[in-house]
Structure 1
Amino acid sequence: MRNWLTKGLPSAGLFAGPVAWLVSTQANYALVPWVCAQRLPAIPVLAAVLVVLSLWGGFLSGRAYLRPPEADETTVPAPDGSRAASLDAPEGGRPHRLVAAMGVLIALLFALVIAAQGAAGLVLDGCER
C-alpha cells in the first residue's frame, strides 16, 4: 500500500468515485425508514464519508498523474532491440497519464454529486410524504 501512496494508482478515481456514489444512492434509499424512526441525520454523515472516499481515489489518481516516469519506464524496446517509444506516447501502449487525469476528474465529479445528495439530507428529514 505504501507503493500506492508514493506512485499513485491511475485508475483509482475511475472506480472509487462511481462506487462511492452507488453506495451513497443505495444507502440513501435503504436508510429512510431508520432515519425517520430515529430522527438522526445519518445521510449527511454517510455522504461526508463517501465524499472523502471518492476524493481519496482522486488523490491516488493525481499522484499517478504527477509522478515522473522512472528511467526504465520511459522507453520500451523497439523491434531491433533499441529503446524507442515513450510509454506516455500512444505508440508506447500505456496511457497512464490519460487514465490518471480522467480518474481525478471523475472522482471530483462524483464527490460533488455525493455532496449534493448529502446536502439534501440536511434539509429533508426522511419522513416527508
Structure 2
Amino acid sequence: MSSLLTRGLPSAGLYAGPMAWLVSTQANYALAAWSCSYQFPVIPLLAAVLAAVSLAGGVSSWRAYRQPLPADTTTVPAPDGSQVATLDGPEGGRPHRMIAAIGVLVALLFAVVIAVHGVAGLVFTGCER
C-alpha cells in the first residue's frame, strides 16, 4: 500500500475527480433545504473537501507520471520485426504515462467545477424560490 502512495496510481485522477463531482452535485441538491433551514453554509465546506479529494487523485496521477521508466530488458517485436520496443513505452502496450497525464488534467478540471459550485453556495443561501 505504501508503494502506491509513493509511486502513485495513473488512473486515480480519472476516478477521483468525477466521483467527487458526482457526490458534490448530489449533496448540493440534497443539502439545499437543510442549508436554508439552519442558515449554515454547508455546501461551500463540502465543496472544499471534495475539491481536495479530486486534487488528491490528481496528485496520485502526477506521482505516477513523474516516475522514471524502469530499465526493462524485456522487448517486444517492432513492426519491422526487430526487438526494440520495451513493454514500458507507449509502443509496448502500457500507456501509463498518458493515462496519468489525462488523470491529472481531469482531476484539475473537476476540482475547478466543484470549487465553482462551492462559490455558488456562498452567493446563494438555498432559500431562493
Alignment TM-score, normalising by the size of structure 2: 0.90
Deviations 1:29-80 (A, max 9, x none): 00011111111000000000000000000000000000002233xx53436x
Q: What is the deviation of 1:125?
A: 0.5
Displaced runs of 4 or more, over 2 A: 75-79, 86-91
Q: Which residue number corresponds to residue 18 of structure 1?
A: 18
Q: Which residue number corresponds to residue 115 of structure 1?
A: 115
Q: Which residue number corresponds to residue 76 of structure 1?
A: 74
Structure 1 residues 60-69 or 82-91, which shifts more?
Answer: 82-91
Alignment of 1:89-100 (within 5 A): 89-100=89-100
Query: Quick one: percent identity of the two aligned structures?
Result: 66
- Report if the CA contact (8 A) 1:76-1:84 is conserved: no
Structure 1, unaligned stretches of length 5 or more? Answer: none
Aligned residues: 125
Q: Alignment RMSD, CA only?
A: 1.6
Amino acid at match of 2:54: S
Structure 2, unaligned stretches of length 5 or more? Answer: none
